[in-house]
Amino acid sequence: MAGQATPDPEALLATLARLTQERIAPRAAHYDALATNPVESWQDLWRAGFLAMTIPRAYGGLELDMPTYVRAIETLAQGCANTAMTVHMHATVHRFIAALGTPQQQARYFAETVEAGKLFGSWGSEPAVSLSRTFLVETTIRAVPGGYRIDGVKHFCTMQGGAAYYLVWCALDGRPEMDQALLQALVPADAPGMRCDGRWDPLGMRATYSPSVVFDHCLVPADAVLGPPGKATRLGLVEVFALGYAAIYLGIAQSALDFATQYCQQRVFRPENVPIAHDPAVQRHIAAMAIPLEAARLLLYEAARQWEHAEVAQRGVLANKAKYLATQVGLQVTTTAMQVVGGRSALKDLPVERAYRDLRTCTLMPPTVDRMLEVVGKAKLGVAASMFQFGAAAPPA
């Protein structure tokens, strides 16, 4: 309901934790095996109001502050990394709509989520471009009578077939520099001229369903674009992706640690006939996971606390710090959890195997480790640092 009261963060997170454990987590293995969108989990989250986490309260959303938001995404990831990733992308698109959209666009798109549970994807990656090296978009958008035409190829198109709209990152035809050419368009799922190759069989994050999509004279209406060209990267919003990724990594790692801990408390081998939790080597392994995980979480929460009042450049540093440590710790924890559980950890019957695959896969998302360290190192050295290194826009086709 529009104009609703500010929600209590702890009550909301407690509700989300129950929903995650009771409804979201039990489906995670099923969606992983099928490599399909977690539609039922999205619907449960919509009915509980959690698809509107970043929608302003004036439009019926929760409008969570950043500290509460990252905790919510982390909570979801402990139950299903794929649901957390898709919801994080969806929620970040809402941030772009709130910052760049007209009042008419905001009223329309926010209502579609609040009232009907519609989801929004974000498609920026392209086969020939590494966004960690240079922020370059070769998919073009050009004005035509009645709207715009989009041409190009996107890959890792998360939520393909499951969302109602896709925020497609394009280069405005005729603009020579990428920082002035970037234009985002909300493309309806049924837009003519958009086709999917349907190929998706990855190691992990299988239920994010992210095949490649070709845009061939794809036509969208004039009101599909968000804001003026080049503005999207100057608002400190793109950096939210990396902050949310850090929350997801830590949620996955926590799930692996929780499983390994419970396993050690319950598993008994002969001839000792006591749980392996009594083994000093096991105790050291558990501590070696728990301590860095707690440190990475504290860094993430501190970055989220500073977020609202941080300048755009500082947000890039905060996000890179959080994502870097979450990446390193997440990989360490899931690997060690597999080692502690032993040979059984390779069985798909145990969730630690899925946590390992999901963490190894989603930590490949940009920015890369090298790029994160570069940004943080420049900031420490007083060298001008930017989240992005812009390239020239694609030439007219």
CA count, 13 A, side-chain hemisphere, 396:
5
Model confidence at 128, in pLDDT bands (50, 70, 90)? Answer: confident
Give the mean pLDDT of 326-348: 97
Tell me if residue 382 falls in helix, strand or coil. Answer: coil
Residue range 148-167: mean pLDDT, rounded = 97
State whether CATH 1.10.540.10 applies to domain 9-119: yes
Q: What is the mean pLDDT of residues 37-46?
A: 98
> Residue 33 — pLDDT band, cuts 50, 70, 90?
very high
Q: How confident is the model at residue 354 (pLDDT cuts 50, 70, 90)?
A: very high
State the pairing for strand pair 140-144/120-123: unpaired
Instruction: Please identify, in words, the CATH class of the domain defined by 234-381.
Output: mainly alpha
Which of the four pLDDT bands, split at 50, 70 and 90, describes residue 365?
very high
Mean pLDDT of 321-326: 98
Average pLDDT, the chain: 94
Measured between alpha carbons, how far is residue 51 from residues 87, 108, 124, 319 in Å? 7, 15, 21, 23
Q: Give first-to-last CA distance, the chain, whole Å.
A: 46
For residues 182 and 124, give the distance between their C-alpha atoms in angstroms, rounded to a whole number: 11
CB 251 within 8 A of CB 28: no
Average pLDDT over residues 51-74: 98
Percentage of residues of the chain with pLDDT beyond 70: 94
Asked if 352 and 338 touch (Cβ cutoff 8 Å), the reply is yes
Please check whether residue 341 is in contact with residue 263, taking contact to mean a CB–CB distance below 8 angstroms. Answer: yes
**Which string of b and e fits 370-386 if b means at least 16 CB within 10 Å?**
ebbebbbeebeeeeebe
Q: How many CB atoms neighbour CB 188 within 10 A?
A: 14
pLDDT at 245 over 70: yes
**The pLDDT value given to residue 396:** 47
Give the span between the Cα atoms of 98 and 58, in whole angstroms. Answer: 11
Q: Which residues contact 127 (CB under 8 A, 6 or more apart)?
A: 153, 155, 212
Residue pointed to by tokens 């992005």: 388
Q: What is the DSSP letter of 54?
A: T
Identity of the residue numbered 72: A
CB-side neighbour CA atoms (13 Å) of 380: 9
Task: Give the model's pLDDT for residue 272.
Answer: 86
Cα–Cα dist 211/163, whole Å: 14
Amino acid 173: pLDDT: 85
| Helix, strand or coil, per DSSP, at residue 210 | coil
Mean pLDDT within 329-348: 97
b/e sequence 55-71, b meaning 16+ C-beta within 10 Å = bbbebbbbbbebbbbbb
CA distances (Å), origin 30, targets 170, 260, 391: 35, 21, 41
Q: Which pTM value belongs to this model?
A: 0.95
**pLDDT at site 395:** 53
pLDDT over threshold 80, residue 75:
yes
The model's confidence at residue 6, banded by pLDDT at 50, 70 and 90, is confident
Q: Which residue ranges make up each domain of the chain?
A: 9-119, 140-229, 234-381
Flag whether pLDDT at 132 surpasses 70: no
Tell which CATH classification among 3.40.50.2020, 3.30.365.10, 2.40.110.10, 2.60.120.260 matches the domain 140-229: 2.40.110.10
Stronger pLDDT, 188 or 177, i.e. the higher one: 188
Residues 6+ apart with CB under 8 A from 356: 204, 256, 334, 335, 337, 338, 345
DSSP-assigned letter for residue 23: I
Q: CB–CB of 144/175 below 8 Å?
A: no
12-38 in b/e burial notation, b at 16+ Cβ within 10 A?
Answer: bbeebbebbeebbbebbbebbeebbbb
Residue (of 59, 46, 50) closest to 2 by Cα position: 59
**Tens of pLDDT, residues 200-214:** 999 999 999 999 999
